[in-house]
Amino acid sequence: MFLGEFVFLDLETTGASVDSNRITEIGLISVKNGEYQDEWQTLINPQKKIPSNIQMITGINDQMVENAPTFGDIYESLFARLDGKILVAHNVRFDYAFLRNEFKSNGIKYSPSLLCTVKLSRLLYPEERKHGLDSIIKRLSLACGTRHRAMTDTRAIWDFAQHVQKNFESSLISDSIEKLLKGSSLPKGIDKEMIEAIPSSPGVYIFKGENNCILYVGKSKNLRSRVTSHFSGDHSNKKDLKINQNITQIDWHESAGELGALLLESQLVKTMRPLYNRKLRQKTESFTIHWNPIDGPKNPQVSELSEFDEIPLGSIYGIFDSKKAVLKTLKDVSKTYNLCLKTLGIESGEGPCFSHQLGVCMGACIEEESTLNHAMRLSLALSKFLIPSWPFEDEVLLIEQSERSGLVEKHRIRNWTHLDYEVTGKKSNSEYLLSPQKVFDYDTFQILRKFIEKPTNQLTIIPDKFRSPH
C-alpha cells in the first residue's frame, strides 16, 4: 500500500542536460493512502527553442508552447501541489533535478523524498530483466496513449502502482517503498548541497575516506546522476556497501566531453591506486607478440615494449602483463586455429610438434603445410589482437567542446600516443588535471581508437585526412 501522500509525475524537457535545458510539459497525479485524489497538467514555455529531435520524440513544438505559461508563472501553484509529498517518477532523479533547478531559480528550495518506480519494479519483479516504462506497459498489458507526453506517462506510472497494489501484499509494498526511501539517503558526512554542486556534465569523480584515502575513481557523461546512483541503497556487492560506509568527501573534475573524462579516469586510477577500482594497473612491464609476416622473423617473438625505440605499430599484437600471459595466448590460438607449436616458437627440437601428434597441427613443422599458408592462418588468428597502424599522416588534434560549460579541450595525438593537452574556457575548480603521457599506453590506445574510429558530435578531428591505403 502507498501509505501517505504521493505525487506521481512526469516531465517533458528540451533535452537531457539539466544545466542547459528546460521543462516543456508537466503532468501529475496526487495520491493519498493509495487512492487517487486529482490530476493536473500544463505545457510550459521553456523560453528557448525545442530541438527538432526532441520535437519528434515528444510531439511538442515551439508553436505549442509559444503562449504557454513559463515556469515562473506557475511555480507557486505547482509547489503547493508538491510540498510535503513523496515525489514518484520513472527515473525520478531526472525529473527531480529539473524541478529542483527551476524552483531554485525562483527562490524556492525543493528537497522531497524520492521514490523511483524503476527501482520499485526491480524489487517486486526480480525475475525480469527490463524495467523501462515501455517494458512495464507491455509486460503488464497497461492501457497507454501516446508515449512521451507528460500526462500520458504519469498515468502509466500510476497504472503500474495500481497493478502493484492489486497483486502484492500491502506489507510487501510498504516494506519495498520504505527500503527505497531509506536507501536514497546519503552517507554520513555527505549532504545534498555537496551533491547539488556537482554538474550534470561529463567528468571524473573521486570518492575519499578518512585521511584523504582514495576509495574509488569513476567517470560519467553525467557526473551528478552517476554519483547519486552510488547512494541508491540497492548495493549489488560488498564493494559498493564499503564505499558508502567509508566515504567522507567527493571531489570531481568537469571535462568538455567523454574523451577527456576517460583519459583522466585511466590516468588517476593508475597514479592514485584507489582501494575499490577493479581494473587497477600496477604492472611495471608490458609484453607483446611481435610478428611481421612479410619481412619479420619466421616465428612470432615475445617482446618487451621497452625494447622498442618506437612502437612498430602494425606488427605488434596485444599488450600483456607477463611473458606467461603471452605464451598462454599463443597456445590458446594454436588450439583454436590448428596452428603449429614449433612455428609459433613454443616448442623446439626435431620432428613433428606435439599438436601434430594429436592430429591438431596441419603439419607446418614437417613441411606438410607451406610456410605461406600457415602464415596466412596465423595472421587471421592474431588479427583481433593487432595494434593497428596510425591512420593519419602525422599528428592530429582531437577537440572536444561543451556548449553547457564553455570548456574546450584539445588533445594532440600521434601514433596512438597522447603528446599534449590544452584546456580553455571556464576554469575548473579541480586539482585533478590531465597530463600527457608521451609514451605508448595500451589503455590510452583503446580509448583513442574508440573516438577516432567513431567520432561523436562533440569531437572534431584536425586534420581530418586519413592515410591512403597501401
pLDDT tens profile 30-43:
999 999 999 999 99
What is the overall mean pLDDT for the chain? 87
Share of the chain above pLDDT 90, in %: 49
Do the beta carbons of residue 405 and residue 256 sit within 8 Å? yes
The architecture of the domain spanning 5-183 is 2-Layer Sandwich (3.30)
Q: Give the residues across from 88 on adjacent strands.
A: 8, 115
pLDDT of the residue at 468: 42
For residue 33, the one-letter residue type is N
Q: Give the residues across from 41 on adjacent strands.
A: 27
Radius of gyration of the chain (CA): 28
pLDDT digits (tens, 9 = 90+) for 161-202: 999 999 999 999 999 998 888 755 677 778 777 887 888 889
For residue 64, the one-letter residue type is M
Q: 181: alpha, beta or left, given left = phi > 0 and alpha = psi -120 to 50?
A: alpha
Q: Tell me, what DSSP letter sits at residue 189?
A: T
Q: Where are the domains of the chain?
A: 5-183, 193-272, 287-312+315-385, 396-462
Q: Within 10 A of 17 (CB to CB), how many other CB atoms are there? A: 17
pLDDT digits (tens, 9 = 90+) for 370-406: 888 988 899 899 998 988 888 888 899 999 988 777 8
pLDDT of the residue at 237: 58
Residue 182 class from Cβ within 10 Å (0-12 exposed, 13-18 middle, 19+ buried)? Answer: exposed
Q: Within 10 A of 132 (CB to CB), how many other CB atoms are there? A: 12
Class of CATH domain 193-272? alpha beta
Residue 217, CA distances (Å) to 94, 399, 400 in order = 23, 24, 22
Question: Cα–chain-centroid distance for residue 390?
Answer: 26
Mean pLDDT (whole number) for 101-127: 93
Q: Give the residues across from 252 on adjacent strands.
A: 205
pLDDT digits (tens, 9 = 90+) for 258-316: 999 999 999 999 899 998 887 655 555 788 898 887 765 568 888 887 777 677 778 88
Is the model's pLDDT at 28 over the cut of 60?
yes
H or E element that contains 208? strand 203-208
Is the model's pLDDT at 230 over the cut of 60?
yes
pLDDT of the residue at 429: 58
Mean pLDDT (whole number) for 45-69: 95
Residue 420, CA distances (Å) to 87, 257, 276, 395 in order = 47, 17, 30, 11
Mean pLDDT (whole number) for 63-75: 96
Residue 7 class from Cβ within 10 Å (0-12 exposed, 13-18 middle, 19+ buried)? Answer: buried
- Whole-model pTM? 0.63
pLDDT of the residue at 470: 35
Is the model's pLDDT at 119 over the cut of 70?
yes
pLDDT digits (tens, 9 = 90+) for 148-158: 899 999 999 99
